[in-house]
Chains A and B, each alone.
Chain A
Amino acid sequence: MKLSNRYNRVNILTSIVVLIITGVIYYVVIHFILTEKLDRDLAVEENEINQYVSTFHKLPLPASYLDQQIAYKNIKGISPEREFLYTTYYNPKEQENEPGRSLITVVHVNGKAVEVTITKSRVESEDLVRIILLITVGITLVLLLSLLLINRFVLNRLWRPFYSILNRMKAFEVTRMDNIEHEPTKIDEFNELNKSVNAMAERVRQDYKELKSFTDNASHEMMTPLAVINSKLDSLLQTESFTAQQGALLEDIYHATGRLSRLHQSLLLLAKIENNLISDLQTIELKEMVEAKGRQFQELLGKDGLVLNEKLVPVEIKMSRYLADILLNNLFSNAVRHNVAGGHINITLNKDALTVSNSGKIANLQTKIFDRFSKSVESEGMGLGLAITKQICNLYGFRIEYREINGEHVFAVYFEG
């Protein structure tokens, strides 16, 4: 839920509840005040009648009162309590029944108790209450409407810098050295956000730079001695005065240095992929690449009499060409290395997945095969190829799966997570 929606909801709900409660209180209080006033008027009338009676010793004529009706009734027996009550009465002037307020009291005229009922119209006060109620409801509606409009237009404009900063953050790439630009705004919070985001981007870039230089330095420092060993071996070989036994020793040293340099390169590559230091993202025609890779592996396939079956459709994916090459290399070498003589490799490419399956020894491998340095006993590899493959898949949000179906080893790379 968007912040503004959430805020709107709370705001409007609270406004409605508060306005309803206010309306009710308003109604009750005004009603009470108006009734009080009516009652006071009735009491004044009663007073007048009393004075009239004490002066003239007779009851005033009911018709001499304009705004109210007065009725007399002789009481026999117990005289009633003095009380105010709501009534309906017939208004001869308007010729209709109207709501009214009555005061029933007892007046003693010449020792005789007479019940006097004074009734006053309530129409005006009712009207007043109704108008007040209408105004209250009207204000409520206008208020709600204006709240909605404010939220819709003003809030949206207020939040615009926020969304613009957000979009810039989404588009931020650590490898590109551009800053997250400052969105001009007068709002302190957004200015602060912008400042913090830029500071963070700066820190990230600094870390990235340090990491990159560390990787470079580590590579440099370790590769240089390796390069020396390699070149010295090459030079030694040129002196050509070895026995066959010495030659075999030399070959072993060659193998060891070769492995060491490949191991080192693989580890550096893993670190680079993990830290997202490889950035040449581009659209790749995977079909062409797989076909080219098949040709490249021709000799290796021929050596063990392996048959390569390809079922490919054109597929474009976005990734680094360098890493795509390594991914295919690793899948191919894996399929070749763990195959049996005269076996086969099937490669299927469709828009969902790249599947490489190969015949091989039944191995009952576990999911550990993607771990670093995990390899079978007879494997000649370093146990890094699949770890690198997995890491490349992780980097681009691909999902790699391994299954063993009827003695076939199947690796499938799904392009959509």
Chain B
Amino acid sequence: MKILVIEDEQALLESILAYFTGEGNICEHASDFASANEKISLYNYDCILLDLGLPGGEGLELLTKLKQLKKRDGVLIISARHSLDDKLAGLDLGADDYLVKPFHLSELKARVSAIIRRKNFDGDNVIVFNEITVDVSAMKVSVKGNPVNLTKKEFDLLVYFLSNRNKVVTKNAMAEHLWGDEMDLSDDFDFIYTHVKNLRKKILEAGAADYLRSVYGIGYKFGDI
């Protein structure tokens, strides 16, 4: 995947780049309006992460520019502004998603992956990881060709893990992904455990290897053993 990260906060930019680089991803970055403008005019990206408040210009203008250039780059807006108007304006201008700061890098990755899958496979939305195949649009999972019956939450969890393979994903991030961050959840995320346990059991029973492991009690990591 070729990704452009447009973000003026250097520390945040580095973290995002570090998290996304690897696994055949190419990440480029821009820290101000002018360089971002130049990059989107010259190159094509699978997904652009766009911060709205940029030095030298308003992020939404870049969206208009993309539209003028008739580019099909996926766009994910990352903004500190939790404003409904901005969100609607962004989505109206052709952005694919809107994520409010602060966010978990795992959530960002999951959303970027979702955008790229939608863009690249046009309906044929399938993730393959070793013997596990997930058809995201049909909501079907199979291991070595055998179908696995998952609940909605377990399915979402699996897709989330697959988007963040080989990364440690915190329980906090998982809870917010599955239940939304407006829910004002308590700090005790133990109820996540039940879903993770069930998912792991079902995948194992279908004959897959045990890819999932707990990390320091903070979270889980799904990936190559």
**A residues lining the B interface (CB < 8 Å):** 216, 219-221, 223-224, 226-232, 234-235, 237-238, 240, 242, 244, 246-248, 250-251, 254-255, 257-259, 261-262, 265, 268, 278-280, 296, 299-300, 302-303, 322, 325-326, 329-330, 333, 337, 380-381, 385
Contacts and interface: CB of A to CB of B under 8 A. Distances in A.
Contacts of A268: 82
B183 interface: yes
Contact of B167 (A227, A228, A238): A238
A348 B52 CA distance: 43
Nearest to A223: B80
Contact of A302 (B101, B170, B191, B218): B191
B15 A231 contact: yes
A231 B16 contact: yes
Interface in B165-188: 167-168, 170, 172-173, 179-180, 182-188
A220 B80 contact: yes
User: Interface of chain B, helix or strand or loop or mixed?
Assistant: mixed
Interface in B27-60: 53
Interface residues of B, number: 44
Interface of B: 9, 11-12, 15-16, 18-19, 53, 80-84, 100-106, 153, 167-168, 170, 172-173, 179-180, 182-188, 190-191, 194-195, 215-219
A247 B216 contact: yes
A213 B14 CA distance: 28
Nearest to B51: A224
B54 to A, nearest CB: 12
- Give me the 7 closest cross-chain CB pairs, A-B, nearest first: A247-B216, A231-B15, A227-B102, A223-B80, A227-B101, A220-B80, A234-B105
A230 B84 contact: no
A224 B9 contact: yes
Given A258-B187, A300-B191, A329 B102 contact: no
A230 B104 contact: yes
Contacts of B188: 380
Given A216-B83, A228-B12, A234 B19 contact: yes
B218 A227 contact: no
